Amino acid sequence: MTGDVPNDPVSGSSGLHPDTAPAAANLADVKPPRERPIRSFKPLVLGSFALAAVSAVLLTLALLYAAGILPPLRNTVDLQGELRTYLLANPQVIVESLNGMQARQHAVEENELTAVLTQRHDEIFNDPASPLGANPTGDAVLVEFFDYNCPYCRRATPMLNELEQADKGLRLVFKEFPILGPGSVFAARAALASQKQGKYLAFHKAMMTYEGRITETSSLDVAADVGLDVERLKKDMEDPAIDETIKRNIALAQALRISGTPTFVAGKEVLQGLADADRMKQLIASARGR
């Protein structure tokens, strides 16, 4: 089955990154995105930071020479020697430059994320096309981006059920985010179509507990098992609004820099990967402003 990729056991995430929102009208034609492990510092990025740090050191030396603090150099060999001597004597300069640039980059990303969360608040938390959990009028909103073929999403489901039961003020918002192949796309479309028969939650939970790969066949089998009219479901899946909802979810995930499933959004936080119950409770508390 296309779309199968190794999961990231460190982050508790499928580790996939959607490069572009699907432009095709038929979402089943969308190719799986390339694999990108999250929460990793790539050597290429590290190399770029190192080069930038060296450039900063060179600039500093040039200013010192221009100010007459250091004696003028006669040739490139002298410059290389001075630079080598300086760096050997002050290795912390590179580390400090790298740390500073990383901190600035992180601050920029945080500011961009905060802006998206503010500007697209209603689309994230109050989109009427996004199905809701058992407590639709709850005061603390927790959004989940998920894929039915994501094993970590399946592992998160019983925990989310327990959190809902323990906290009647928790409102779950489900964002269908099918990034693991055509089977996932079909399942997402079927799930959204099941709303028209009032059986989304039953279908969703049955899909999340299904043992095996979610495909077109298994999706329809589960639909029948939970009492959905399968023929009507197939017709309802043809509604263009369903594909539009999925496209919006993928575009929204891109804007939020979501790179895998499951990903949870609450308040001003975005949590990528599977977390334990205590961390999830902290996230829910942040949604209440605590």
Mean pLDDT along residues 89-109: 67
- The string of pLDDT tens digits covering residues 67-89 is 555 555 555 556 667 777 776 77
Q: Nearest-CA neighbor of 208 among 255, 163, 147? A: 147
pLDDT value of residue 62: 61
What letter would DSSP give residue 39?
S
Q: Provide the b/e sequence for 226-252 (b: ≥16 CB within 10 Å).
A: bebeeeebeebbeeeebbebbbbbbbb
pLDDT value of residue 161: 96
In the chain, what are the domain boundaries?
A: 43-111, 122-287
Q: Nearest-CA neighbor of 173 among 134, 117, 120, 202? A: 134
- The string of pLDDT tens digits covering residues 268-289 is 999 999 999 999 999 999 888 7
**Structure-model confidence comparison of residues 10 and 181, the more confident one:** 181
Amino acid at 21: A
Domain at 122-287, CATH from 1.10.10.10, 3.40.50.300, 3.40.50.1100, 3.40.30.10: 3.40.30.10
The C-alpha R_g of the chain, in whole angstroms, comes to: 25
Tokens of 184: 């996932």
Q: Where are the alpha helices (DSSP H) in 90-150?
A: 92-119, 121-125
- The string of pLDDT tens digits covering residues 149-193 is 999 999 999 999 999 999 999 999 999 999 999 999 999 999 999
